[in-house]
Amino acid sequence: MSELPDGERGTGRGSDGPQSIAGYLENNGTLTYTNVGTSMMPLLKQGRDLFTVRAKKPGERLSVGDVAIYRRGKSTVLHRVVEVTDSGYVMLGDNCVRREYGIAEDDVIGVMTGYVRRGKAHSVTDPAYLRYTSRILRTEKLRVGRKKLAARIRSAGGRALRALTGGKKKS
């Protein structure tokens, strides 16, 4: 998952220490942050790419395909909206296999407006980004199925190897 470091601790610093990301967005409108985690690969690579989010507007409803920053317990997560429900959203990271249900409207604090990859800025309105988003949404079931199958094969291969070696690990 693309969690931001230190739970909700953002880069904004007020007089009484670090602000929450929600507080930073409320005070400044936008935040550019480095990606942490692998859940939004290949769009965002940890340690290389940045993303920019803007504060979610009061009463704003997100659309399928939007990338949102939201609260999940004590963490702040960046994932894509894959379904809009009456009560909120269903989210999924581009590199994840499990949908996350029950994301309430109030949990969403911002929406991604752009990203920086290898020093070049991109907007979520760029045609290449829109094609990428369309492909990610269209191929969700195929991508998730392939990842689950690969995990099963790796697990079965590990069991077979342990059976052949008597459970001994390589030295």
3-state helix, strand, coil in the chain (%, to 5): 30, 35, 35
Report the distance separating Cα 46 and Cα 150, nearest Å. 22
Indicate the average pLDDT of the chain. Answer: 84
User: What per-residue confidence (pLDDT) applies to 16?
Assistant: 34
79: which strand partners? 68
User: What per-residue confidence (pLDDT) applies to 154?
Assistant: 81
CB 53 within 8 A of CB 111: yes
| The one-letter amino acid at 153 | I
Q: Is the pTM of this model over 0.85?
A: no
| Confidence at 7, pLDDT banded by 50, 70, 90 | very low
Q: Which residues, other chains included, contact 18 with Cβ-Cβ below 8 Å and sequence gap of 6+?
A: 6, 9, 10, 12
CB 71 within 8 A of CB 54: no
Q: What is the pLDDT of residues 82-136, one digit of tens each?
A: 999 999 999 999 999 899 999 999 999 999 999 999 889 999 999 999 999 999 9
| Confidence at 147, pLDDT banded by 50, 70, 90 | confident
Worst-scoring range by mean pLDDT, 48-62, 73-87, 124-138, 145-159?
A: 145-159
CA torsion sign, 107 to 129 to 36 to 98? positive
Worst-scoring range by mean pLDDT, 2-11, 15-24, 28-37, 96-105?
A: 2-11
**Residue entry with tokens 């550019």:** 32
Structure tokens at 32: 């550019």
- CATH code for 9-164? 2.10.109.10
Confidence check: pLDDT of 11 > 50: no
